Structure 1
Amino acid sequence: MSRWDTSNIPDQSGRTVIVTGANSGLGAVTARALAAAGAQVIMACRDEVKARAVANSIGERAQVRRLDLADLSSVREFAASIDRADVLINNAGVMAVPLRRTADGFEMQIGTNHLGHFALTGLLLDKIADRVVTVASGAHIIGKIDAADLNWERRRYNRWAAYGQAKLANLLFTYELQRRLTAAGSSKLALASHPGYAATDLQSHTETFMDKVMVVGNRVLAQSAEMGALGSLYAATATDVAPGGYYGPTGLGGARGYPVACKSSAASRDEVTAGRLWELSEQLTKVTFPFAER
């Protein structure tokens, strides 16, 4: 797997891949690479104008469908429009935004990054033939799941702690999904990836001085979005992935490099917390996975 890049993507002809947040950044790079390898790509995006511009640059292998992960009615509408797909890539996300709430009252970061993708995956799981890839982050190491106040209704809001919680939730969800798929006798795979420190627009929405700091960081320290997308592309297409695997760069403390199998925090491997988060996510989204009753 050393120096794996887009030239190593197996032929994707005949396969359909859903990529959330494909209108910019890592998602747009992912969509372009998959289409170039022969896949039909469904770009699931809130900003349809930007998404169509990207789709037009890709050509006939890309199509745009509206999906707002911060609105569960939109998630349900999108899921109902899908007949089948081979891979779902849960890529969309927000980072360190001011305290805001989704249409359903969830804190925006946990609501978009985790609960929206949790609901989407549950609603689509029977239609996904091969694998689900969820894009996490090295920031999961600062995360802590507060099951009693997941949506920051009683705690004083901290945007970075909220981001860490959401990214930790991505990994807890992935590992628990794989355990449940395995227990159900399914051959489907749940995988996670991270982009390292990649230069995208994700870092420019904190609405604080950090936006300017991270613009400089993007220029000086970050690797390109093309490099950052390799982890999710590997997880989505490689034939030698491990069930429940986590892939991304490990250079410079996980900030740069080609994708390899990665380790994640002990908290991300806590099966008790994963089970509690799963139950809470079902309650909040009112989405029950097909195999939920074991």
Structure 2
Amino acid sequence: MNGWTSANIPDQTGRTFVVTGANSGLGAETAKALVGVGANVILACRNTAKADAVASKLGPNATVAQLDLADLASVRSFASSFTGADVLINNAGLMAVPLRRTADGFEMQIGTNHLGHFALTALLLPKITDRVVTVSSGVHQIGNIQLDDLNWEKRRYRRWQAYGDSKMANLMFGLELAKRLAEAGSSKESFIAHPGYAATELQGRSENFMDVLAKLSNKLPIAQSAADGALPQLYAATMSGLPSGTYYGPTKFFGLHGAPGRNKYKKAADDADFRAALWAESEKLTGEKFDVSGS
């Protein structure tokens, strides 16, 4: 790969990162790369057995903490014992799963990918010193969020639309957080990243014929490795001088693979009124008042 790679990550000795969903795929590769440049990494995962296996290979700079983003009680428990970090990477996610509900009754994809991370960031932000990176997806382009039915209680469920909506919510959240931090005069920053097409365990969870297609497409040249797919979030998490509120992803073949760089996104995400409404609805649903003024 030409361009920025993990070899270009600046030294991170003495810095601490929280990576959600670091037990496999992009999260595990992100943790591996960060530990490799001296960082301390908290692997915040639902499946702690898998996370322990990853951490054991990374050494003493990697620690594991239980976090189930599909359960707000777990999010609050994690936050209550959290002592601080430089960077939070909101990486964990589900893609195109059948209709299921979180412990709090949210549709599983919006509940895990967006609402769980929204609540987590709200609770952790006072103890994050540098930045938040939220992982979206190129599939945000199909996002068409319905604020009056965020949890798919009125409409016929469509798993890919629900995924696209959750990834648009991730993008809008990252943009709105950057705006609010700047307006509050905070030095903290917010970035958004996406992996392009990366062959990970995220694919193959649809429990239908799409799983077969996913396994086949993961073998095509268009698919990046998980390590390459992690580069945009590593770039956003470690590089200095980036404008807060910017979106990073692969720079080749329509953003599907290649070295990371600044990407364009669906312009609907710039609707400030809609972003504010989504923020308010997220506060209402999670019960977490998100105050950036003290950040």
Instruction: Provide the identity percentage.
Output: 60
CA distance in 1, matches of 2:219, 2:195: 16
Alignment of 1:66-105 (within 5 A): 66-105=66-105
SS of 1:33's equivalent in the other structure is helix
2:224 maps to which residue? 223
1:271 maps to which residue? 272
Alignment of 1:273-288 (within 5 A): 273-288=274-289
Per-residue deviation at 1:235? 0.3
Question: Are 2:181 and 2:293, in contact at CA under 8 Å, matched by a contact in 1?
Answer: no
1:249 maps to which residue? 250
Which residue identity does 1:179 align to in structure 2?
Answer: K
2:169 maps to which residue? 169
SS of 1:259's equivalent in the other structure is strand
- Farther off after superposition, 237-246 or 140-149: 237-246
Per-residue deviation at 1:292? 6.8
CA distance in 1, matches of 2:81, 2:209: 41
SS of 1:4's equivalent in the other structure is coil
Alignment of 1:22-37 (within 5 A): 22-37=22-37
Cα deviation per residue 1:185-207 (whole Å; 9 max; x = unaligned)?
00100000000000000011000
Question: Are 1:230 and 1:258, in contact at CA under 8 Å, matched by a contact in 2?
Answer: yes
Structure 1, gaps ≥5 residues long: none
Question: Are 2:184 and 2:293, in contact at CA under 8 Å, matched by a contact in 1?
Answer: no
Which residue identity does 1:164 align to in structure 2?
Answer: G
Question: Are 1:191 and 1:246, in contact at CA under 8 Å, matched by a contact in 2?
Answer: yes
1:54 maps to which residue? 54
CA distance in 2, matches of 1:204, 1:42: 27
Structure 2, gaps ≥5 residues long: none
Which residue identity does 2:118 align to in structure 1?
Answer: F
CA distance in 1, matches of 2:211, 2:187: 42
Question: Are 1:126 and 1:290, in contact at CA under 8 Å, matched by a contact in 2?
Answer: no
CA distance in 2, matches of 1:96, 1:292: 36
Question: Are 2:110 and 2:151, in contact at CA under 8 Å, matched by a contact in 1?
Answer: yes
Per-residue deviation at 1:178? 0.6
SS of 1:63's equivalent in the other structure is strand
Cα deviation per residue 1:128-166 (whole Å; 9 max; x = unaligned)?
000000000000000011000000000000000000000
Which residue identity does 2:275 align to in structure 1?
Answer: A
1:182 lines up with 2:182 in the alignment: yes
- The TM-score with structure 2 as length reference comes to 0.98
Cα deviation per residue 1:88-127 (whole Å; 9 max; x = unaligned)?
0000000000000000000000000000000000000000
CA distance in 2, matches of 1:290, 1:168: 22
CA distance in 2, matches of 1:269, 1:47: 35
Cα deviation per residue 1:196-228 (whole Å; 9 max; x = unaligned)?
000000011000111110101001131111110
CA distance in 2, matches of 1:257, 1:83: 36
Which residue identity does 1:120 align to in structure 2?
Answer: L
